[in-house]
Amino acid sequence: MHAVVIAAGTLHWSERPDPIPGTAELLVEVHAAGVNRADLLQQAGRYPPPPGVPPDQPGLECAGVVTAVGPATRRFAPGDRVMGLLGGAAQGELAVIHERIAMPVPAGVDLAEAGGFCEAFATAYDALFTQCALAPGDRLLVSGAAGGVGIAAVQLGHATGATVVASVRDPARREAVAGFGAVSVAPDEVAAHGPFDVVIELVGGSQVAADLEALAPGGRIVVIGTGAGGTTELDLHLLMARSASIRASTLRARPLEEKALVSRALERHVLPLLATGRVRVPVERRFAFADAPAAYERFAAGAKLGKIVLAR
Amino acid sequence: MHAVVIAAGTLHWSERPDPIPGTAELLVEVHAAGVNRADLLQQAGRYPPPPGVPPDQPGLECAGVVTAVGPATRRFAPGDRVMGLLGGAAQGELAVIHERIAMPVPAGVDLAEAGGFCEAFATAYDALFTQCALAPGDRLLVSGAAGGVGIAAVQLGHATGATVVASVRDPARREAVAGFGAVSVAPDEVAAHGPFDVVIELVGGSQVAADLEALAPGGRIVVIGTGAGGTTELDLHLLMARSASIRASTLRARPLEEKALVSRALERHVLPLLATGRVRVPVERRFAFADAPAAYERFAAGAKLGKIVLAR
């Protein structure tokens, strides 16, 4: 098969041995695979994949059709449309997914959208519900909302009955983000729309300190992105006065069993929303797999609405 | 009755009207009342009590004997020895405690010790278990362990089957702290004893950044004290790499129902340990109520092992 391969910091569409599905694994003919920040970090040598994953093959998510299954497989059969979260090596003609990680692609959902579903929605779901216990009536701030995770968080918050405020730096994209179910504002207008019970922080830097100022008592901040900076000054008295928590977690580093748990939660709670169109995967642009360098460049350029996806 | 009263920043032992117990409240003849940092902050005008509490009468905890009860009281009767967590006004000859907040003082436990039990153990219990889900086998760091909350946390961690490391700045008090069930070390030796699953941070300032460095994956830091400073620089990438959380919460600001929940948890999980002597309340020094100014000065001087208590 061919796969996106990193060699000396450059991307190539290279020949690789076909992967072989293990006991409870699926061999998937990949139709689409999302591009994520971790791929760019891996290209730059700054995000080594977990053990057991080829270090030079990026890609955290894909969707396609099952072509073969391992001997103990129970959930899927050849011909099934599936999608899943991988530790790496998702951007190739073939990929192997453990069946406890894989999810069915609902009828009517395009495989190119499905290829960009898992990472953004798993990250947003885990942050909103598992880490921050978002509940109906909560005020949710999605800080830096125009990307894949941000739009997923806006949609999930809206579907849950939270009041969602989305901060979007680029005025040209505010209306589109509002269309997913949020009051869409400039970053410097956020404070007037608080206080917030939950903040999904996709920008980082000193924005985290501003989040704490705008937090309601008992509020929770989860830091997912750090494009605006990797440090912030933390006011401990304010943390105490707000009875607040600040947390962070990356999905990629988690072991198989935790990824399976996230996938099962996503299948149960979010797939019905995807199947009925209450949430969708906005795709900013598709690229052919062989054009991965251009796709990564487009991702790095920012100012996008939703996902960059490699697709056949 | 007489009570400790703050007038223009000075403490007095002054005449006040006797409090009257409401529907489900207990009137308690106070035998002892602990001194806490919040009392000193209140004296300095920097910690206003919650609504419904006299703003000039400090004291967050006391123990004594019930002398009268409101009409709908079910749990206690006159003559019972009780202790409890109050929003304020605990340092007087009489105090009123809601019966859902009150706990029985186990037979064999001195009322002077009981007067210093509630605040330290409720704070430590809430931080360790409710906020940080401490479990057997966890490595627990109690940072700044020689005070009331610190020694309570060491004992509760030890009784739960955690491995407890206590940092104590004063070498003269390290052995005594170790006697409560911890490996007792100097602050600069902490890193060699990690990584830690849970950190109870009683010192604050840049120590919080050091805690994050020494944290295990999925680790939790709870900030309770800020004597070393009210701010820290927070490394967001490290927060992500550790899948960590940093939180804080003050008991005093919580509504009656939440204090009742903490009291019930304490009664169920910690009172049996107190009754059998597996945990105890170390009292650094007792003062007469009329000597409150000296007691507060002793508290402010630091370098104490356990609690400062006002007692008859």
Q: What phi and psi, each to the nearest 5 degrees, are found at residue B31?
A: -100, -30
Bridge partners (DSSP) listed for residue A28: A66, A95
Q: Is the model's pLDDT at B148 over the cut of 90?
A: yes
The residue of chain A with its CA nearest to that of B228 is A236
Interatomic CA distance for residues B98 and B297, integer angstroms: 30
Helix/strand/coil for B291? helix
Question: What sign for the dihedral angle of Cα A203, A205, A206, A209?
Answer: positive
Interatomic CA distance for residues A201 and A227, integer angstroms: 10
Please report the domains of chain A, with CATH numbers, ordered by start residue.
2-117+252-311 (3.90.180.10), 120-248 (3.90.180.10)
CB contact under 8 A, A233 and B234: yes
Beta carbons of B195 and B220 less than 8 angstroms apart: no
The residue of chain B with its CA nearest to that of A220 is B247
pTM: 0.93
The residue of chain A with its CA nearest to that of B239 is A248
Residues of A in contact with B245 (CB under 8 A): 245-248
Nearest to B236 among A226, A235, A239 (CB): A226
**Could you read off the pLDDT tens digit of each residue along chain A, which spans 312 residues?**
999 999 999 999 999 999 999 999 999 999 999 999 999 999 999 887 888 888 999 999 999 999 999 999 999 999 999 999 998 999 999 999 999 999 999 999 999 999 999 999 999 999 999 999 999 999 999 999 999 999 999 999 999 999 999 999 999 999 999 999 999 999 999 999 999 999 999 999 999 999 999 999 999 999 999 999 999 999 999 999 999 999 998 887 788 899 999 999 999 999 999 999 999 999 999 999 999 999 999 999 988 899 999 999
Nearest to A235 among B230, B237, B239 (CB): B230
- Nearest-CA neighbor of B157 among B141, B144, B176, B143? B141
Residues of A in contact with B247 (CB under 8 A): 239, 244-246
Nearest to B223 among A205, A239, A247 (CB): A239
CB contact under 8 A, A231 and B235: yes
Q: Is the model's pLDDT at B95 over the cut of 90?
A: yes
To the nearest whole Å, the CA of A233 is away from the closest chain B CA by: 5
To the nearest whole Å, the CA of B76 is away from the closest chain A CA by: 32
pLDDT at B229: 95
- Within 10 angstroms of residue A185's Cβ, the number of other Cβ atoms is 20
CB contact under 8 A, A230 and B250: no
In chain B, how many H helices and how many E strands? 10, 16
Pairs across A and B, CB distance < 8 A: 92
Question: What sign for the dihedral angle of Cα B66, B67, B69, B74?
Answer: positive
Residues of A in contact with B249 (CB under 8 A): 240, 243
Structure tokens at B1: 């009755």
The residue of chain B with its CA nearest to that of A219 is B247
Structure tokens at A23: 């006991």
Interatomic CA distance for residues B38 and B88, integer angstroms: 10
